[in-house]
Structure 1
Amino acid sequence: NFEGRQGRGGRTHLVSPAVAAATAIAGHFATPADI
């Protein structure tokens, strides 16, 4: 990995598989309880 790999201003968020699935369904950051 190197700085700027994901483009200017890119950010990475590490989340659990459950949060990733809830976020994909909701279209924005969400928790499984939100779904």
Structure 2
Amino acid sequence: PGERAASTSNRNFEGRQGRGGRTHLVSPAVAAATAIAGTFATPDDLEA
């Protein structure tokens, strides 16, 4: 519960990423920035 996922998949339906989880559909650039940062981020956030 309370888990969130950033996904570039075009299939977003309840329970897809696990029970009680939330999926946010994002662009590949945002998905990459999020993976690097470990939290939801944009590419601009990484240029610090």
TM-score class normalised by the smaller sequence: 0.7 to 0.9
Aligned-residue RMSD, C-alpha: 1.9
* TM norm structure 2: 0.58
* TM norm structure 1: 0.75
Task: Give the structure, 1 or 2, with the largest relative contact order (CA under 8 Å, sep 6 or more).
Answer: 2
**Structure (1 or 2) with the larger CA radius of gyration:** 1
Normalized per residue, the structure richer in strand is: 2
Normalized per residue, the structure richer in helix is: 1
Gaps of 5+ in 2: 1-11
